[in-house]
Chains A and B, each alone.
Chain A
């Protein structure tokens, strides 16, 4: 009994330490960043596009817009491609092909983000610059690279969602005379919708949080983009560019940016959980 109690105490200690470290980050970020939001005012912080931290201006609007646009662009590319792959793998491909294709597609997940960024600089940026215009380092480049990067996430979670739909649904539909596509479109997809939406939301979370690849291809100009060929700076890139030397209010502003990102991720996670629970 003694031993039992001791072990339980040890495990409790471990659990508390974990929770403490996780809480540490949250508390740290909020403690460091909140004073800045109070100082500048929330509306000023979020709605002003004037970011000149050395002169006391902390408006992150340009970066919020850039992050949002880059993520949306990534979804526009990633969701259709990813969903198509998932549907083809889960519904339309014969088993041997599926066995080969699935791990091949999961290979994509093993490639680090900096490698994507590098290949983007080497191949994609000159392509955009020579054929579409602008410096090549642009919103478009960032969106394309991110779109490719979130493909594994979307594909694997969608495949899981589609595979989870019981075969009975499919068999019933076919028995009624529907084609395979009609079955997929009207029966399987709706049944798997919550899983697919989760996949999309998680992909979005990954895209918003990506830093290194974006710094390499987005151009990092501090402006609200007027065309997809304009260089942009996202919230994450901004933190990376300035964290080495930021101090005082400036550093608080970076933590405040972290709070904004944290809240965005929390909202995304919450929506994903709620959607899956509703089903």
Chain B
């Protein structure tokens, strides 16, 4: 396979002028063109990268990650914040409360959003409460029930009561829906309702409030729990011990299942992070949250 290189120049000329040449037009042009386009593309890429660093837009967007309960509200806040502060970019991710706290702790996100309280080791992080939210226990609108007691809900979610018959309804298995283990909503639900007992492993699991709502909206025999701020006309929220999860009842804590939304930072917030959090806590930010269905902290 050795090739006397000195002959290659002759071979070049030989091949170029030869009638019985190998297929196709001269490839070097093709390759040159391809490499040129690659080079241009890479240069463009580098330029983009540098432009991100140098321009008004900060190279690293402010990132908020975590609770799917908080997410729609954070998105709304981010949208308005970015309108008022052109040049600042706020990216909102979901992933669940535990994911958000983890991301904040390890620097993957600037701010973690959580719909549960910090536990154990997490307490060393900086927490900023931004709103109160209720946990609504929802059923399909066709379900004739209007309310339950906390004990009844617990019995269902532990798996002791498995049929709607127990509530005087036509016999049908209860389709139980819960959130994944890292969910703040689930953690808050367990804390407020389950009294140290485990949710049955036979429950269906979905990884966001919206997904739970979707399933309950489609399954007449289902029951699940979501953020009260996300209840819409496609599902029905049950009254707990006689109290419905309306904003007034949540504010006065007449409704039992109330938890805080908190923002979590690794250290006390400074700079752009602090600016955004100040916005969230400002009267304007709080009004946005209340308009969307939450209860403010102020």
Direct contact between A and B in the complex (CB less than 8 angstroms)? Answer: yes
A→B interface (CB under 8 Å)? 1, 4, 53-54, 121, 125-126, 129, 134-137, 215, 219-223, 231, 233, 240-242, 244-247
B residues whose Cβ falls under 8 Å from a Cβ of A: 5, 95-99, 101-102, 173, 175, 180-182, 201-207, 214-215, 218-219, 221-222
Instruction: Tell me whether A222 and B205 are in contact (CB under 8 A).
Output: yes
* A184 CB, nearest partner CB in chain B, Å: 38
Complexed CA–CA distance, A116 and B215 (Å)? 17
- Most A Cβ at <10 Å: residue of B203, B205, B214: B205
B201: chain A residues at CB < 8 Å are 221-223
Known: A1-B5, A245-B98. 10 other contacts (CB 8 A): A126-B218, A135-B204, A135-B222, A137-B215, A219-B204, A220-B205, A221-B203, A233-B205, A241-B180, A244-B99
Nearest A residue (CB) for B172 = A133
Chain B interface main SS type: mixed
Return B192 CB to nearest CB of chain A, in Å.
18
CB-based contact A135/B202 at 8 Å: no
Taking the nearest CB of chain A, how far is it from the CB of B210, in angstroms?
Answer: 13
Q: Given the complex of chains A and B, what is the CA–CA distance between A224 and B89 in angstroms?
A: 46
Whether B205 pairs with A221 at a CB distance below 8 angstroms is yes
In the bound complex, CA of A1 to CA of B218 (Å): 72
10 contacts between A and B (CB under 8 A): A53-B181, A129-B219, A135-B175, A135-B222, A221-B202, A222-B205, A241-B205, A244-B98, A244-B99, A246-B182
Smallest CB gap from B218: residue in A: A126
- Chain B residues within 8 Å of A219, by CB: 204-205
Q: A242 to B204, Cβ gap below 8 A?
A: no
Residues of B within 8 A of A136 (CB): 219
A222 to B201, CA, bound (A): 5
**A125–B222 CA distance with the chains assembled, in angstroms:** 14
Residues of the B chain whose Cβ atoms lie less than 8 Å from the Cβ of A240: 207
CA distance A245 to B94 in the complex (A): 11
Residue of A nearest to B95 (CB): A244
A222: chain B residues within 8 A (beta carbon)? 201, 205
Q: How far is the CA of A260 from the CA of B119 in the complex (A)?
A: 32
In angstroms, Cα B208 to Cα A215, docked, is 12
For A223, list chain B residues within 8 Å (CB). Answer: 201-202
Which residues does chain B contribute within 8 Å of A220, judged by CB atoms?
180, 204-206
CA distance A231 to B181 in the complex (A): 17
* Contact indicator A54/B181 (Cβ below 8 Å): yes
Could you tell me if A247 and B219 are in contact, using CB atoms closer than 8 angstroms?
no
Bound complex: CA A125 to CA B214 (Å)? 12
Q: Which residues of A contact B180 (CB under 8 A)?
A: 220, 241-242
- Measured between C-beta atoms, what is the minimum distance from B238 to chain A in Å? 19
- In angstroms, how far is the closest chain A Cβ from the Cβ of B295? 26
A134 CA / B162 CA spacing, docked (Å): 12
Contact residues in A for B99 (Cβ distance below 8 Å): 244-245
CB nearest neighbor in B for A215: B207
Q: How distant is A190 from chain B, measured CB to nearest CB, in Å? A: 39
